[in-house]
């Protein structure tokens, strides 16, 4: 079952728990089925690729998914993490809102 998540692709997030705590990066992909996100440059894993045809063997680094509970939205201007809530607008759309300041983050869609 797909769940509605408060973190979307291209959001800037901070890692709040685990081995990579404190690192900031951009969300590359959101895996809604597993409740995980892939953050650019965080949780890198080396993968040994076998030679294929005329292409030589190589070692590739790729990001592993992190659980959504281990990341939080990051506000670079304020230099702090953001707790997010969803509020309905007058026109019926839903938007993400900063719980502390009440500032609109962006359209949540749906």
In the structure, what pLDDT confidence band is assigned to residue 90 with cuts at 50, 70 and 90? confident
Percent of the chain exceeding pLDDT 70 equals: 94
pTM passes above 0.85: no
Contact 65, 34 (CB under 8 A): yes
Q: Which two tokens mark 3?
A: 């769940």
Q: Which two tokens mark 109?
A: 């869609």
pLDDT at 9 exceeding the cut of 50: yes
If one counts every other C-beta atom within 10 angstroms of the C-beta of residue 104, the result is 12
- Given CATH 2.30.30.30, say whether it is the number of domain 12-50+59-81: yes
For residue range 25-70, list pLDDT tens digits in order.
999 999 999 999 999 999 999 999 999 999 999 999 999 999 999 9
The residue with greater pLDDT, 59 or 89, is 59
Contact 28, 65 (CB under 8 A): no
Which residues 6+ apart lie within 8 Å of 54 measured at CB?
A: none
Q: What is the pLDDT of residue 107?
A: 56
Q: What is the pLDDT of residue 110?
A: 45
């Amino acid at each position: 079952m797909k769940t509605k998540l408060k973190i979307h692709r291209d959001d800037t997030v901070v890692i709040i728990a685990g081995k990579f705590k404190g690192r900031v990066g951009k969300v590359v992909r959101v895996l809604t089925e597993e409740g995980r996100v892939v953050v650019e440059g965080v949780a890198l894993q080396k993968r040994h690729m076998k030679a294929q045809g005329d292409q030589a063997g190589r070692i590739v680094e790729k990001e592993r998914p992190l659980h959504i509970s281990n990341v939080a939205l990051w506000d670079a201007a304020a230099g702090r993490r953001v707790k997010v809530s969803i509020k309905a607008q007058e026109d019926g759309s839903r938007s993400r809102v900063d719980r502390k300041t009440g500032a609109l983050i962006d359209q949540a869609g749906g």
